[in-house]
Amino acid sequence: MLIAALQTVSTPRVDENLDHARRLIAQAADAGAKLVGLPEYFCLMGLSDRDKLAVAEVPGDGPIQAMLSEAARSHGLWIIGGTLPLRTGSPDRALNASCVFAPDGTLAARYDKMHLFRYDNGRENFDEGRVLQAGSEPVTFEAEGLRVGLSICYDLRFPELYRAMMSPPCDLLAVPAAFTHTTGHAHWELLLRARAVENQCYVIAPAQGGLHENGRRTFGHSLIVDPWGEVLAMREEGEGVVVATLDPARIAQVRMQLPALTHRQPRWIAA
């Protein structure tokens, strides 16, 4: 299966960002992709944290979800819809949700970001907990016979989340992200390759990649990694499409030659 990671440099304007997403999805479909992933916050990179609250949608309804559904249906492919803000019971909190749409346009899965990013190095200060409500459950789904595990950005630093999705093992892990340039330069590729190697599966990581109108610079380097930790394709910065082939035979080969997943100690495996 050909898969595609889409890289954006999103703005504070939802309509503009949706237009960019439509165009990139069409490019990926024209290239033959059957599954595409958008980055975290593909629909909005606001001027302030609270901008997410103003555009947050009711689960199952709203222009962002409608665009993803229509694009999946019109191109006949799977879309991992990066993230979008969904309403909670509080006007001061939203969920950062990754919604997956099947080729018929129906919602196939939804994962709410569990780990909320906080970082302060004296120059940059981020705290997603100011406006976001954390999710609570790992989520996987089946696509064309493949088991796919969902995660979002900062989740990447918590390997126990990925282990929780590996019974049975996933074939693909998705990590839509908006890594800061500082943390991305230090850890992005390192962590993605580690998650691929330790779980012996492919990783697709669509990212924000450039300088945004709010002054934030995201790291980009959207990439696809194979089960041996090899980077198959990558785009450093700027809007674009990254494609690679997910080969189930490669997964089987790696797991046969080095059956590490079968060597896990039962007492450390969550029920």
Catalytic residue among 40, 57, 128, 237: 40
Catalytic residue among 99, 153, 170, 201: 153
Q: Give the whole-angstrom CA distance, residue 184 versus residue 189.
A: 8
How much is the pLDDT for 98? 98
Known catalytic membership, residue 153: yes
Helix, strand or coil, per DSSP, at residue 175: coil
Greatest Cα-to-Cα distance within the chain, rounded to the nearest angstrom: 52
pTM: 0.96
Please, are residues 224 and 242 in contact by the beta-carbon 8 Å criterion? Answer: yes
- Give the confidence band of 268 by pLDDT, cuts at 50, 70, 90: low
How confident is the prediction for the chain on average, in pLDDT?
96
169 secondary structure, DSSP code: P
Ordered by start, the domain boundaries in the chain are: 2-268
- Give the confidence band of 271 by pLDDT, cuts at 50, 70, 90: very low
- The answer on pLDDT for 97 being more than 70 is yes
**Residue 116 token pair:** 């909320």
CA triple 141-200-253, angle to 5 deg = 110
Known catalytic membership, residue 40: yes
Nearest-10 crossing angle of helices 63-75, 14-30:
10
Q: Give the whole-angstrom CA distance, residue 246 versus residue 172.
A: 8
- Give the confidence band of 269 by pLDDT, cuts at 50, 70, 90: low
Fold held by 2-268: Nitrilase/N-carbamoyl-D-aminoacid amidohydrolase (3.60.110)
Please, are residues 163 and 153 in contact by the beta-carbon 8 Å criterion? Answer: no
Terminal Cα distance for the chain, rounded: 31
Q: Give the whole-angstrom CA distance, residue 245 versus residue 233.
A: 10
How much is the pLDDT for 265? 81
Give the pLDDT confidence of 180-238 residue by residue, as tens digits. 999 999 999 999 999 999 999 999 999 999 999 999 999 999 999 999 999 999 999 99
Alpha helices in the chain (DSSP H): 14-30, 51-55, 63-75, 159-164, 181-199, 248-257
Known catalytic membership, residue 52: no
Catalytic residue among 113, 128, 170, 201: 113
How much is the pLDDT for 61? 97
- The answer on pLDDT for 172 being more than 70 is yes
- Give the confidence band of 124 by pLDDT, cuts at 50, 70, 90: confident
136: how many CB neighbours lie within 10 A of its CB?
7
Torsion of CA 48, 52, 55, 61, to 10 degrees: 170
Closest CA to 85 of 31, 49, 138, 121: 49
Half-sphere exposure of 253 (CA within 13 A, CB side): 8
Tell me the residue length of the chain.
271
